[in-house]
Structure 1
Amino acid sequence: MTILVTRPSPAAEALVERLQRAGRVAWSLPLIEFTPGQDLALLPQQLAALHPGDLVFIVSQHAIHYAAAHLRQAGFTWPATVNYYAIGRSSALALHAASGHAAAYPRERETSETLLQFRDLHRLTGKRALILRGNGGRELLADTLAQRGATVTLSECYQRCAKYYEGALEGRRWRDRGINTIVVTSGEMLQQLYSLFPAIDREEWLLHCRLIVVSERLATLARECGWREITVADGADNDALMRALQQT
């Protein structure tokens, strides 16, 4: 098995290093990179507007990375009287490291769908919910919280930017290196991966690779694109991806 990791830096390089230490052949091809979001200047005001018992949701650890840096610069501390939620363990750990506050998160599938099953998120009338996230992305979390009665505010803490690669050159590079397993951690990256290479590379090589994805939703998207060999990891962090790769 020869593995290509498409998640962003530095997580991609960290996973490749772990795989290589485990005796696997692995390479990285980050498909997106991150820059500060457009709503960071508003974040202290948005957090200050929350009342005790209101909700803060962390969509990814990248949101914490940029939010925490901005709040430190502004001399603003994370409120202690609100309830914090994270999509996954990495985001919860990032929040705790930045603020000292704990966040509830799904222990099995690290998805918005699983988080929304939490009993205390079913009735939210009168609550305010602040979602720290990147540009674009899914609206499921925000829409569902609003349907359950919360007043929802979105805060764009970071932006995802596609990295440019020459598709024909990359196709030859990775085919020559014998890539047959690819790690993909978001729908955006899955579509970018599919669109990057010329049709002949997709038909002769890319769609024959095994995909390691992080949710059933991504697996469904991959099947719709034409992939057949798909493994769903039990989380989106590198530990979960390592477990999935060790089982293939």
Structure 2
Amino acid sequence: MEQYEKAVALWRRRKITTDAELAEALNGHSIAFAYHSGKIENEHITYNDTREIFERDGVTSYTGDLRTLFEIRNAKEANELYLDAFNERRPLDEELIKQFQYLLTQNTYDTRRYQLGERPGEYKHHDYVTGREEVGAVPEDVAEEMTELLNELKDIPAEKVLTAAAYFHAKFENIHPFADGNGRTGRLAMNYFLVCHDHPPVIIHEEDRKEYYTALEAWDIGQELAPLSNFLKMQTVKTWEKRIQREEKRNRNRER
């Protein structure tokens, strides 16, 4: 069995159905996810600050930018919604995605966006292109494209969950539905989709951002999904490799 299949099998054996069980299964991964997802776009985010805010709701001896603190605190609140939504079996719909984005970006929109009428929790009102390929749907098409994307995610068979997650993430980032926070929102929404389909969530590690962006660009340029699917599979293994190693060690000890 390949390491990816081991990670999925290990997760599914837990039979997670409640927010408490999900929080226990994550056991530190929520902090790591928030750190890496934030760090991809904000180099000032540190693991220690993230851990302190998640565990104690505050930091000691902080001298950095307040926006960075807001972003970390926002990630904590978004994680709480992620757990609550899982417990309530909420579907991944436009309302939930807007709530994720609102929590992740509250108090962080810059003055220019705010003066243009942009608000956290709302689809963008103006046209913002992003990336080397200058992707992004025009504002008047965002709602329709998001509805279409989410409808495509219904009734996904178990063996296609990771591919569907890659498809969602690639198209979401290509649509670029919000004025800010699209990367963080897309990664959190993708992980919500995964756990709702009994698949381990994935940390996209900040040190692998170059490969991550290259995989997203493959979709933007030629609608190639394999690079992102393969990248997410490798990141799944990287996310859960220590848990896999502990399980294999226990199995070897039982066989002695």
The two structures have a TM-score, normalised by structure 1, of 0.23
Q: Which is higher, the Rg of structure 1 or of structure 2? A: 1
More strand by share: 1
